[in-house]
Chain A
Amino acid sequence: MIHVQHLTKTYDDLSRGKFVAVDRISFSVQPGEIFGLLGPNGAGKTTVLRILSTVLSSTSGIATVAGFDVSADPAEVRKRIGFVSNNTAIYDRMTAWEMVEYFGRLHGMPKKELTDRVETLFEQLRMNEFRDTPGAKMSTGMKQKVSIARAMVHDPPVLIFDEATLGLDVLVARNLLSVIRDLRESGKCLIFSTHIMSEVERLCDRIAIMHRGKILDSGTLSELRSRHSENDFEELFFGLLSNHESAENNELAHDVGAGI
């Protein structure tokens, strides 16, 4: 469903010059699978997921979603994904119902089908108590539910969650994770980015550990454990990160030394 190959993104940045935020990463995700993108802040997760949702364009490399290239057919890609991130807020002056329905209309859904779908979603996500509450008056949890309903309204085969649990209390976060699990059961292809290890451990079928724009390693949880002969996932994660950092620093020192 999702194929990413040698994807690279550079930003023109004032302080860092040409800054490589994503560096030749590759991975693929199958339907019925939850793929976890784990990395500390600034690793480049949001950048990758924004490219997949065609909001940003890549500098080089290939990314296809449901068979469509993100740079050649962005409109087709957008029809087949639902993107939830902590940057995709909901409108303050629209009610929950209006918001979800509006995005359904943007997807070109027929009126009857749309109403049925929104009813089902509201039922499923238990959103009926606040269906007429404007966005400005909702709690963070309510907003998150609206965002998920908004992303799911057209029943896309691919769903992308970028740090979706950020700022949610434990209860709401648990609820979200169970929604995501349900989605896997219905055969959706899911990408889930986070910097919280326990979420990945509990949720994801396969994991990629990202740091400074690179994927350090990827595979199922047990694969990773056996490959690095480390049972504690947290130790594994930090081990990889610090190895990578010292390797990078060595390289840098080497470069500087060669320069002199």
Chain B
Amino acid sequence: MSERSEQLREKAKRAGRPRLSVVWMIYAREMMDQLRDRRTLFTIAVLPILLYPLVGMLLMQIAQFTQQHPTSICIVGTDHLIGDVPPLVKTETFVDGLTDNDERLELLCYTWNGVGRHDGVLNQAKNVKETTNNWVRDGIFDAVLVIPPKFADPQARSSDQEASMQLLYNVASDQSMVARDRLTGILSKWQSGWVRQRLETTGIDISLLAPFKLADIDIAPERTREAAFWSKLLPFIMLVWAMTGAFYPAIDLVAGEKERGTLETLLCSPALRSEIVWGKLGAVTTFSMMTAILNAGSMLVTSSFVFKQMGVGGGQVGSPPMVPMLWLLVALVPLSALFSALALAVAAMARSSKEGQYYLMPLMMVTLPLVLLPMLPGTTLTAGTSLIPVTGMFLMVRSLVEGQYAHALMYLPIVAAVTAGCLWLAVTWARRQFEDEAVLFGGGDQWELSQWVRHLWRDRQRAATPTQAFSCGAIILVALFFGKLVVTEMPTTFAGIAKLVMMPQIGMILAPTLMMATVLTTSLKHSLRIRLSNPLTLPIAVVFGICLHPTYVMLAGLVSYAYPISEQATAAMKPFTDQISSAPLMSVIFLMAVVPAICEELAFRGFIFGGLVRNRGKLRAIFVTAIMFGISHGVLQQSICATFMGLLLGYLALKTGSVLPGILIHMTNNTLSVSLERIAQSTHPAAQALVSSTGGGPEYNLVWVIASVAIASMCLFYFIRLPSVDEDAKADLVGNEEEFADPTAALSPA
């Protein structure tokens, strides 16, 4: 039996290896097929080549239109500029030296009485006010400067409200705002000239007015300044197009072929599923890259031309530096491949092109934030951001384009690892989709609510299905999100805090889990993975929990160093931490350790894990539960720590086949976290040997840290050595990879 399975494994391995020649044949055919499609050609090649120049031309037209429209200003009451007032206007222009360099300025001057109707001096003020208001509102002038009669009186001028000049403008009009800015500039120049003149007449040295001079100089080399603009915009454009460029071919090559029936023709040919996936993935990636390059290139060329013509940005934008942009191409390859693999996997679920388009929208919504994030001001390449998929790559390319090679190189390993990991996951997903006959030949019948409900009830199984597990996780996360919105302020009593903790734990994590486990599965105990196959795991879990805590504290320290916690957040949490540190220890442990450990573990390492681990989803179960567990913590720093913790807990859940060790570790860990300070303050010799109180809070002693790491490693080793006892993972296996990897696993009694 085992000899036969050994042979089978060898054979399957040999047979399952994709042959490059076949992959190439499929790739070439898919490429040719797409290139023969007029629609594809239009969207990837013709559209960008035409679109950008057209938009550019339009922009130039509009720009010309706005440029030809000069700023128009009116001054009313020029006859009041008398006496010691220095000259402001000549006929129809401002006096030399006051105006800015911009020629496009129209000035019209009226005397006080030159405006509107003349029915008596008394009413003239009102008359002027009305008329000038109308002028500005109707856009006859962009701005109007009114000089009232009292201005002529040197005494009143500086003190009387009624003597003040009035600048009328309209904030709703951009033109008017420009006019206002220009006019204010002119007036302030005029004013300082006046001050200068006065001081001179009184014999004061005017150099006193300016004790120093300031010259601001941008030291960034020419290239960086231009690159800064383009290095932000261009990757964004490229990524968005890489995404859209992947979507449409992916839909056509999978969902479209399913619809047209050609996929089955290919499936019954000697080509392996893996070869089909690689061939199609290659074609989609090529199209994604071509779309991105053509669009970005066309935009680059057009806009540099347009900007030069328009002289926008005072040469700051300028034409983009071409050579550094080549870095973009390097980054484009993996990102296009990533988007393509995702699009293929998603498109495989659809039965027709139309359905595929519905599916890709959510995918776009999920990926878009990763592309938008680097566009936010102040986002730079750091240890934190380099860990984020797509974003990290984007930021690294930006550094490269800006010529900060050393900086970029420093983060290259992280970014490369993250990108490679994501790519691997996406490709694996796509491959699995193509091996899943439910995905490829899914029933064509209509979905009906009542039928579905009946199906859920009738086909209940002992544990959750993967879909149910995903739904449970989604329900919990959404409930937590809305629960958070409800909490508006931190309670100040312990009872209030207890409510604050219990409500999400019991109402939003435990309740949905228990409800789904009761209704959707036949065995509550089994679906929550409450079982004990090896009693020794429990005490070892407690020891592990204790010895893991110093490492956990270190991890938390590292995380808050990489992503510092804002002072506001600390301040907001203050009432909470204060209450916790003053409440009775037992209640705190119950609230912060026992309740969360039970609720969260039953949900994440119980129901959800049990569902995800099925159908050879071991890795999926570990990673997805860890990420969900992380997100459920809400605060970024906690989320990161929790995700790491979740990975470990997930691994143990897999090895022990039970939720119980996880609960114990989780409980121990939280207990230590909330009571560490008290342990540090205690006079018990054991406590003092392990923990000491420092200014920055309690700290583990170095000796114990080292010892604990050693013991924790031993515990971990114990768990690694445990034979896999996961029934759920095995339940529905027929000759899968894991069985090949460990032929005896399937033979040992479950």
Contacts and interface: CB of A to CB of B under 8 A. Distances in A.
B265 A89 contact: yes
B22 A55 contact: no
A89 B15 contact: no
A85 interface: yes
B447 A90 contact: no
A108 B455 CA distance: 46
B437 A89 contact: no
Given A11-B443, A73-B15, A83 B37 contact: no
Contact of B271 (A89, A93, A106, A147): A106
B459 interface: yes
Contact of A88 (B11, B264, B452): B264
A96 interface: no
B264 A55 contact: yes
B11, B29, B445 — most chain A CB neighbours (10 Å) = B29
A167 to B, nearest CB: 12
B219 interface: no
B15 A105 contact: no
Contacts of B267: 55
B458 A17 contact: yes
Contacts of B443: 11, 13-14
B244 to A, nearest CB: 22
Contact of A89 (B262, B268, B447): B262
A102 B25 contact: yes
A194 B441 CA distance: 21
B393 to A, nearest CB: 34
B199 interface: no
A88 B33 contact: no
Chain B, interface size category, equals: 35 or more
A243 B267 CA distance: 38
B23 to A, nearest CB: 11
A56 B439 CA distance: 11
Given A15-B445, A105-B25, A92 B271 contact: no
B281 interface: no
Contact of B268 (A11, A88, A105, A108): A88
Interface in B617-643: none
A49 B211 CA distance: 95
B270 A108 contact: yes
Nearest to A54: B268
Interface in A143-168: 147, 150
Given A11-B443, A13-B443, A56-B441, A107 B269 contact: yes
A89 B270 contact: no
A173 to B, nearest CB: 19
Interface in B393-434: none
B268 A55 contact: yes
B353 to A, nearest CB: 13
A124 B33 CA distance: 28
Contact of A81 (B33, B262, B268, B447): B268
Given A14-B443, A75-B270, A85-B264, A93 B33 contact: yes
Nearest to A60: B734
A78 interface: yes
Contacts of B441: 50, 55-56
Contact of A17 (B8, B269, B270, B455): B455
Nearest to A76: B15
B451 interface: yes
A79 B447 contact: no
Contacts of B33: 91, 93-94
Nearest to A93: B36
A247 B459 CA distance: 26
Interface string A3-26: 000000001111101100000000
A91 B268 contact: no
Given A55-B264, A150-B265, A15 B270 contact: no
B272 interface: yes
Nearest to B269: A106
B699 to A, nearest CB: 55
B221 interface: no
Contact of B272 (A75, A103, A150): A75
A18 B460 CA distance: 11
A75 B15 contact: yes
Contacts of B15: 73-75
A248 to B, nearest CB: 20
A30 interface: no
A193 interface: no
Interface string B26-41: 1001001100110000
B261 interface: yes
Interface of A: 11-15, 17-18, 50, 53-57, 71-75, 78-79, 81, 83, 85-94, 102-103, 105-108, 147, 150
29 contacts: A11-B443, A13-B443, A14-B452, A15-B445, A17-B455, A17-B458, A18-B459, A53-B268, A55-B264, A55-B268, A55-B441, A57-B437, A71-B735, A72-B11, A73-B15, A75-B15, A78-B270, A88-B268, A89-B260, A89-B261, A89-B265, A91-B33, A92-B260, A93-B32, A93-B33, A93-B37, A94-B29, A106-B25, A106-B26
Interface of B: 8, 11, 15, 22, 25-26, 29, 32-33, 36-37, 260-262, 264-265, 267-272, 437-438, 441, 443, 445, 447-448, 451-452, 455, 458-459, 735
Nearest 5 pairs of A and B residues by beta carbon: A89-B261, A88-B265, A93-B36, A83-B268, A53-B268
